[in-house]
Chain A
Amino acid sequence: MSDAGHTATQEPVLMPRRRRDRTPVGGPIRLNLTPMIDMVFQLLIYFVVTAGFVADEGALTTSMPRETGESKAVAALPQEPLRIMLKKIPGGVTMRLENAGQTVTEVRALTGLLEAVQWNPGKGRVGAFRPEHPVRVEVGRDVGWEAVVNALGAAAAADYTRVEIAQP
């Protein structure tokens, strides 16, 4: 009895106060934002680093020759094609449109030449060759791939629909 009475007098004085001091029940709960901000910055850096690497790519669709063997493919052409000859010079490439007898070094100039010799009344072009006339790009061995693709692109930009690559 005396033991029980002893604890009963001490408990309300000491124990509850200490507990209340350590964990304030009903007080404001705080979320620690620091790790979240850390991770958000990590993500931001990740996206900044990875973004911008995807360049805008396009493709020039080409049809490969159906026949095997060079002579057959050439003989199968219905008409003498428009010939664009690419030749490497120091510091660039010359593009000669054989049928017009003119040589240019700028791709846009080549497009202009090809448009000038085209018969396309819808676009005001009064040349001799229809857009479906075959165009052959003849490439010297040391000419860069970019120049080849640009010559194909120039013919396509001038609305020619049948363009082929050949080696002279």
Chain B
Amino acid sequence: MTPLIDVSFQLIIFFMLVNQIVTVENPAMNLPRLVEPVAEQVQPEGSLWVNVLRLGDGKPEVWIGTRRIAPDDWAAVTDRVADEQRGRSVLVRADGGLAYEDVAPVLQAVREAGVQRVGLVVLGEEDGRE
């Protein structure tokens, strides 16, 4: 009996870990926190995520889905978004510590890919009306 229980728990842990790894697409970052909570709840399923991370030296790094984009290669951002969007909504998740001038070219590149509606991801307040 004991080995059976051991193995089943091991399997449960294995599948939970694998599941976690597959679904985690978004790197951890300090998202901007809204003082006035007006944001809608994110619908992560089926959205294309554009992550703008802040590196140690304060420079931005762009990830689209699970791919890293070379620094300052805005044409690549446009191409990737155009390739991967396929009618999905686009969510831009930028670190709150970045300057606007680091995020603006990403928004510009996303716009050039023909995307009309973009979600800017923020951290919800706990007492927020979301």
* Residues of the A chain whose Cβ atoms lie less than 8 Å from the Cβ of B34: 58, 149-150, 153
Which of A50, A59, A111, A141 is close to B99, meaning CB atoms less than 8 Å apart?
A: A141
- The CA of A152 and the CA of B122, in the complex, are separated in Å by 11
> Which residue of chain A has the shortest Cβ distance to B115 in the bound complex?
A64
Report whether B97 and A144 are in contact in the complex, using a CB–CB cutoff of 8 Å: yes
Which of A35, A42, A63, A107 is close to B36, meaning CB atoms less than 8 Å apart?
A: A107
- A65 CB to nearest B CB, Å: 7
Q: Contact flags (1/0) for B17-42 with A, using CB distance below 8 Å? A: 00010000000100111111111111
- A29 CB to nearest B CB, Å: 10
> Which residue of chain A has the shortest Cβ distance to B13 in the bound complex?
A46
Judged by a CB distance under 8 angstroms, whether A116 is at the interface is no
The answer to whether residues A46 and B36 also contact, given A32-B2, A141-B101 and a CB cut-off of 8 A, is no
- The CA of A40 and the CA of B13, in the complex, are separated in Å by 11
* Residues of the B chain whose Cβ atoms lie less than 8 Å from the Cβ of A56: 123-124, 126, 128, 130
Judged by a CB distance under 8 angstroms, whether B82 is at the interface is no
Judged by a CB distance under 8 angstroms, whether B94 is at the interface is yes
- A64 CB to nearest B CB, Å: 4
Please provide the chain A residues from 49 to 89 with a CB less than 8 Å away from any CB of chain B in the complex: 50, 53, 55-66, 68, 86
Report whether A149 and B5 are in contact in the complex, using a CB–CB cutoff of 8 Å: no
Report whether B110 and A149 are in contact in the complex, using a CB–CB cutoff of 8 Å: no
Please provide the chain B residues from 81 to 124 with a CB less than 8 Å away from any CB of chain A in the complex: 91, 93-104, 107, 110-112, 115-124
Report whether A145 and B94 are in contact in the complex, using a CB–CB cutoff of 8 Å: yes
Report whether B32 and A149 are in contact in the complex, using a CB–CB cutoff of 8 Å: yes
7 CB-based A-B contacts, threshold 8 Å: A31-B2, A43-B9, A43-B12, A46-B13, A58-B130, A64-B115, A139-B100
Given contacts A58-B42, A60-B39, 12 further A-B contacts (CB under 8 A): A32-B1, A57-B121, A61-B40, A61-B118, A64-B117, A68-B112, A141-B99, A142-B100, A145-B97, A149-B32, A149-B96, A156-B38
Question: Which residues of B are at the interface with A, using a C-beta cutoff of 8 A?
Answer: 1-2, 5-6, 9-10, 12-13, 16, 20, 28, 31-42, 91, 93-104, 107, 110-112, 115-124, 126, 128, 130
